[in-house]
Structure 1
Amino acid sequence: MNTLHQTFSVRFTYDVYFSDRLFETSNLSFLNFLKKNHSEGFRKKLLFILDEGVTASHPELLNQIKAYFANLSIVDLIPDLIVIPGGEASKNDPALVEQLVDAIDRHGIDRHSYVVAVGGGSVLDLVGYVAAISHRGIRHIRIPTTVLSQNDSGIGVKNGVNYRGKKNFLGSFAPPIAVFNDSQFLTTLDDRDWRAGISEAIKVALIKDQAFFEWMETNAEKLAGRDLDAMQYLVHRCAELHLNHIASGDPFEMGSSRPLDFGHWSAHKLEQLTHFEIRHGEAVAIGIALDSLYSQRLGWLSEADTTRILNLERALGFSLFHPALDGDGVLNGLNEFREHLGGQLTIMLLTAIGTGREVHEMDLSLIREVIGILKEDEIQPA
């Protein structure tokens, strides 16, 4: 039997820039990126798609973008700046996918042009997915505007939309060509969105960086009090840990191991059960509490460390129980998580703060016990 065998690798490279007031004409970050990627004699197009929540909080933004690119000779800004609804609802609406694909077609956005998404994680997920399926892949630039998207989802390689009631059922692995984190966008977040993104920093610290967790304990009051300097450090460190993991592990998740999804199996199901009334980060905070307590009940995580984790979450203002945890609905999240992985169920638990350990099964009765503990608030803050 004759056999032809092929193997090849593709290198992906992108930078995450940290800036402030990105579209002030004196800020050269975006311009320098365009110059670096300019092809002589060829003018690339820029199509902007913006989260309407961001444009409402920053009413000058659309005019700033137009002014920023008005006199640049190396790119052509599509004057139709598209504003779409934000939040998880944007990922539940197939009509939005069609609307954005149509815009790409009408404006002649080719594979050498850029689709620029400005918004929270849901809008970035949606736009990244649209860019990935149009022309088999258009270069996309992300400008995250929330804590969660700046430190986690917006800097990674995943895009997607919800389908058939399942989170990120349709999606792609398509790294951005660049990410611009503008701290000014964080200043207008409401308290829930400011807080929600911190849960992803707690998550990555718990599985990878004890010192970072201890820094959050020390700075919990500042973070809860909306200290921007503290938040900028948190975003930068969390992003750094996230990017290091992507580079050193399994970036396109060909296997079943997903350590960065610690606390997420129940969080994804909670979002669905509450019809996305709770933020992703709020659900993750509950998931972290659940899996930390579960780790303690296995005898892996000390009571002292468990208490520290729950105390930090409470100090930051998180609620660690939601009525949707009652009943067995959330337990269905285990099988859905396994299906999403596409193989063996793999759940990250803790043996210590900063150290994770994977398991391939979970005891449903023990999960119910832990939910009962969270409901009754048996572990009190110190």
Structure 2
Amino acid sequence: MTEFLQQTFQVRFEYKVAFTEHLFAPSNPAFRDFLGAQKSAVARKLLFVLDKGVVAAHPELQQQIRDYADAIEGYKLVPEMMVIEGGEGAKNDIALFDSIVEAVNAYGIDRHSYIVAIGGGSLLDLVGYAAAVSHRGIRLIRIPTTVLSQNDSGIGVKNGINWFGKKNFLGTFAPPVAVFNDYHFLTTLSDADWRSGMSEAVKVALIKDAPFFEWMEANAAKLAKRDMPAMQYLVKRCAELHMQHIAGGDPFEMGSSRPLDFGHWSAHKLETLTNFSIRHGEAVAMGIALDSAYSLVSGRLDEESYHRIIALLQNLGFAITHPLMEINDEHSSVIAGLNEFREHLGGRLTIMLLVAIGKGEEVHELDNGLLQQASALLQQAVAA
């Protein structure tokens, strides 16, 4: 005879994403008010981990943080802020992960204290993973500093590092306690980093919001020329759509359906093949182009919509393909990305394709011959 005990419970997660400017100016109460609302009988510590590139672009930042933190009752800033390399290399360097965990131990950062990560998406992923596994979960505050992290990765629930040469092989689902998007950080981005994050906005518009896609078409020139009001709208709308999706039923991706990964199966592989010399957003733009072309040649998407997608990507300044993205036979390097994507999903391959701008359709296999046709289409578009 077999007996069972069964337990079912739910855990509620809640966090806010703030949109602001000059977060650590004395006159900006947003960060101070958030911490002040977290009641505690004991003083709590703040461990800041900063992207070295952000510190170089904003040399006054560390002193601003110190002055700001001194005025927050009930909190103690640890003696030193950590300043580490950002970019995708941060997720490939296990020594950086170790250094954050060592700092948690050395400074006595407990589960009622906070780690505050300031940087791009790669640094936020790395710090988030370290926070999630230290003491089984330390409270994390994210302050994204790039377009890509403000509109996508920094406002989500995923953390991770690369391992075995694979994107995000190690990671957790652990929501932050708060996110503060400070638009001022965008003003010092390189043109490449400014542009890179816009591909995720194109992606989410293509699968969820046709009017947003049309807005980007109408404002592509402004966005490419670094118009800040246009970028602020893009960041906020994109973040809103991503957050709506997270709350839509499978936030921790227990199934194989991942519509927000439209265009990502080949993008992740391209990043690895180029040793991450191609930015994530740049690779995603190429992945979007490839899957849009496949949607066309497979009879799902009309030709006019396909040309509009390619035109928008190019008008924003993106390349739509790369020599290592070319698919000439079943042995082409990028094809391996399909199997790795299937493995990452944990089961059945599920790829999002387009049936219209603003509407996606999930499929469970891709035909190699059609992939070759789609790749050829993009090469023709580049040559035209």
TM score, norm. by length of structure 2: 0.97
Secondary structure in 1 matching 2:244: helix
Q: How much has 1:377 moved relative to structure 2?
A: 2.1
Q: Which range moves more in the overlay, 319-328 or 179-188?
A: 319-328
Which residue of structure 2 lines up, in the alignment, with residue 148 of structure 1? 148
Gaps of 5+ in 2: none
Equivalent residue, structure 2, for 1:77: 77
1:189-240 per-residue CA deviation (whole Å, 9 max, x = no partner) reads 0011000000000000000000000000000010001000000000000000
User: How far does residue 79 in structure 1 lie from its aligned partner after superposition?
Assistant: 2.4
Match of 1:366 in 2: 370
Counterpart in the other structure of 2:5: 4
Shift in Å, 1:73:
2.2
- Partner Cα distance (1:229, 1:222) in 2: 9
Q: Give the match for residue 108 of structure 1.
A: 108
Choose which of 337, 342, 359 in structure 2 pairs with 1:338: 342
Distance 1:209 1:315, change over 3 A: same
Cα distance in 2, alignment partners of residues 322 and 298 from structure 1: 22
- Match of residue 321 from structure 1: 321
Counterpart CA distance in 1 for 2:354 and 2:364 is 14
CA distance in structure 2 between the aligned counterparts of 1:362 and 1:44, rounded to whole angstroms: 52
Q: Which amino acid aligns with 1:7?
A: T
The amino acid that maps onto 1:33 is F
Shift in alpha-carbon separation, 1:3–1:189, aligned structure 2, 3 A = same
- Contact 1:121 1:146 (8 Å CA) reproduced: yes
> 1:219 is aligned with what amino acid?
N
Query: Do the aligned partners of 2:293 and 2:375 also contact (CA within 8 Å) in 1?
Result: no
Post-superposition offset of 1:35: 1.0
TM-score when normalising by structure 1:
0.98
The amino acid of 1:132's aligned partner reads A
Asked whether 1:31 is paired with 2:35, we answer no
The residue aligned with 2:185 is 185
* Paired position in structure 1 for 2:14: 13
Query: In the alignment, what sits opposite 2:139?
Result: 139
> CA-to-partner distance for each residue in 1:11-65, whole Å, 9 max, x for gaps?
00000001100001110000000111122x3211100000001000101101110
Deviations 1:290-332 (A, max 9, x none): 0001001111100000000000000000011111123611000
Distance in 1 (CA, whole Å) between partners of 2:360 and 2:250 is: 17
- 1:255 maps to what in 2? 255
Q: What is the CA distance between 1:170 and its match in structure 2? A: 0.2
Shift of residue 101, structure 1, vs aligned partner: 0.3
Indicate which of 352, 358, 372 corresponds to 1:354.
Answer: 358
Answer whether contact 2:36 2:73 (CA < 8 A) is retained.
Answer: no
**How many aligned positions are there?**
379
Root mean square deviation of aligned Cα: 1.0
Paired position in structure 1 for 2:123:
123
CA distance in 2, matches of 1:254, 1:314: 35
Q: Distance in 2 between matches of 1:168 and 1:259?
A: 17
Note the alpha carbon deviations across 1:55-107, whole angstroms, 9 max, x for none: 00101101110111123222111121100001000000011111110000000
Structure 1, unpaired ranges of 5+: none
Cα distance, 1:45–1:378 mapped onto 2, change above 3 Å? closer
Deviation at 1:364, TM superposition (A): 1.2
> Which runs of structure 1 show a deviation greater than 4 angstroms over 4 or more consecutive aligned residues?
none
Q: Aligned partners of 1:191 and 1:264: how far apart in 2? A: 22
Instruction: Quote the Cα distance in structure 1 between the aligned partners of 2:227 and 2:382.
Output: 31
Tell me how far apart the structure 1 counterparts of residues 372 and 25 of structure 2 sit (CA, whole Å).
Answer: 52
| 1:266 alignment counterpart | 266
Mapped pair 1:228 → 2:228: yes
The CA deviation at 1:261 is 0.2
> How far apart, CA to CA, are the structure 2 residues paired with 1:125 and 1:73?
29
CA contact (8 A) 2:48 2:115 kept: yes
The CA deviation string for residues 131-151 of structure 1, in whole angstroms up to 9 with x for no partner, is 001000001000000000000
Deviation at 1:157, TM superposition (A): 0.2
